[in-house]
Amino acid sequence: MNLVSLALDALTDLPSALHPNEFAYLALTSKIKGPFRDRWAYVMHCRSGEGVIVAREWGPQPLRVDIAVLMDGDPRLLIELKAWSAFDPSETKGYVAKMQADEAKARGVAPHADILTVLLVNHPQCEIPACLQGVVKNNLRNDRMIRRYTSSEGRDEAVAAVDRCFLERDSDVIKRGDLPVGCAFGVPVDILYWAVKSRMP
C-alpha cells in the first residue's frame, strides 16, 4: 500500500467526507489545525487496510507528530501540519521555515519513514460580520487580510507568494489544492493546502 497516496487521496476527498458546511463552521470558530488533523486522520483510518494503524499526536514528547501511519507497529509515514488563519504573504517565509523544522523533528523520530509537511491556509471569502466579533477566531486580522486578498487577483497574488517561497527553499511540493468546505454565518470558506514531501537523507 502506498501510504503517501492514501494520505493525499484522503486529503483531497476530505470535504465530501464531512457534513456539508461542518468544516466551514469549525474553520471559522476554532484554530484550524486540530479539527483538520482529526478529520483527515479519521478518513485515512477508515480507508486503511489490515495491519495499518493511523495515529494522532503520536510519539514521545517533545517529538510528537500530528499524524503517524504505522505498519506492524513501525512508523512508515509521518505528517506534520502548519495552519494559517488568513493569507498574509509577509509571513510566508516564517511558516515555511517552521515546516522545515517540523520535517527535521519528524526525521529524528523515524529516520526511514516518509514525511509530509502540510501548510493549510484558512481562506474566508468575504468580510466577517461585525456581530461575530469574539465568535469567529482572529476576526479583526481576518478582515484586514480578507479585504486585500478576497478578490481573485489578490488571492492569486498570495498563492504565488507561497509558491515562490517553496521554490526558493527547494521544497518538493507534491500536491497543492483548494478545498471548498462550505459556508458558515453566511461566509463561504476554502482551505488551501501545500503538501511537501521530505527527501530521504
Residue 141 has pLDDT above 60, yes or no: no
Please tell me the predicted confidence (pLDDT) of residue 138.
67
Which residue in this structure is represented by grid cell 469574539? Answer: 134
Look at residue 88 and tell me whether its pLDDT is greater than 90: no
Confidence (pLDDT) at 124: 84
DSSP state letter for 181: E
Q: What mean pLDDT is reported for the chain?
A: 87
For 4, other C-beta atoms within 10 Å of its C-beta total: 18
Give mean pLDDT, residues 172-195: 93
Q: Tell me how far apart the alpha carbons of residues 133 and 4 are, in angstroms, rounded to a whole number.
A: 39
Query: In the numeric block, which cell numbers belong to residue 94?
Result: 516564517
**pLDDT value of position 129:** 82
Domain hosting residue 52, numbered range: 3-197
Whether cis (ω within 30° of 0) applies to the bond prior to 62 is: yes
Round to whole Å and give the CA distance between 141 and 49. 43
Identify the residue whose cell numbers are 489490515.
50
Domain count, the chain: 1
Question: What pLDDT does 142 receive?
Answer: 59
Report whether 100 contacts 169 (CB < 8 A): yes
CA 21 to chain CA mean position, Å = 18
Percent of the chain's residues with pLDDT above 70: 92
2 band by pLDDT with thresholds 50, 70 and 90: very high
CA atoms within 13 A on the CB side of 44: 29
| Residue with more model confidence, 200 or 186 | 186
Smallest Cα–Cα separation from 104: which of 119, 96, 93, 115?
115
β-pair type (74-84, 114-124)? parallel
Chain segment 38-82, per-residue pLDDT in tens: 999 999 999 998 889 999 999 887 889 999 999 988 999 999 999
Q: In 3-state terms, what secondary structure has residue 37?
A: helix
Residue that the C-alpha cell 483548494 belongs to: 178
Q: Each residue of 110-140: pLDDT tens digit?
A: 999 999 999 998 888 887 888 888 888 765 4
C-alpha 7/C-alpha 68 separation (Å) is 10
Task: Kindly state the DSSP code that residue 191 receives in the 8-state scheme.
Answer: E
What is the average per-residue pLDDT within 9-13? Answer: 94
